Amino acid sequence: MKVKIVNNSRFALPEYQTPLSAGLDIRANLDESVTLRPLERAMIPTGLFVELPEGYEMQIRPRSGLAAKHGITVLNSPGTIDADYRGEIKVILVNLSNEPFTIEAGERIAQMIVARYEQIEWQLTDELSSTERGAGGFGSTGK
Domain boundaries defined on the chain? 7-116
Over its C-alpha atoms, the chain yields an Rg (Å, rounded) of 19
Cα separation, 100 vs 102, in Å, equals 7
Q: What is the largest CA-CA distance in the chain?
A: 57
Distance CA 88, CA 111 (A): 15
Task: Reply yes or no on whether the pLDDT at 143 is more than 80.
Answer: no
Mean pLDDT, the chain, integer: 95
Query: CA 117 to CA 55: how far, in whole Å?
Result: 6
Band of pLDDT at residue 140, cut at 50, 70 and 90: confident
Of 35, 7, 5, 16, nearest in space to 97 by CA: 35
Range from 28-32, 113-117, 134-138 carrying the lowest mean pLDDT: 134-138
CA dist., res. 60 & res. 30, Å (int) = 18
pLDDT above 70 as % of the chain:
100
Region of poorest pLDDT, from 22-36, 98-112, 121-135:
121-135
Q: How far is CA 104 from CA 24, 36, 52, 125, in A?
A: 19, 11, 28, 53
Give residue 133's pLDDT.
83
Average of pLDDT values for 79-99? Answer: 97
Start-to-end CA distance of the chain, whole Å, equals 40
What is the model's pTM? Answer: 0.88
DSSP state string for 59-95 = EEE--HHHHHHH-EEETTSSEEE-TT--S--EEEEEE
**Sign of the dihedral defined by the CA atoms of residues 60, 65, 68, 69, in that order:** negative
Residue type, 142: G
CATH (one of 1.10.760.10, 3.40.50.300, 2.70.40.10, 2.60.40.10) for 7-116: 2.70.40.10
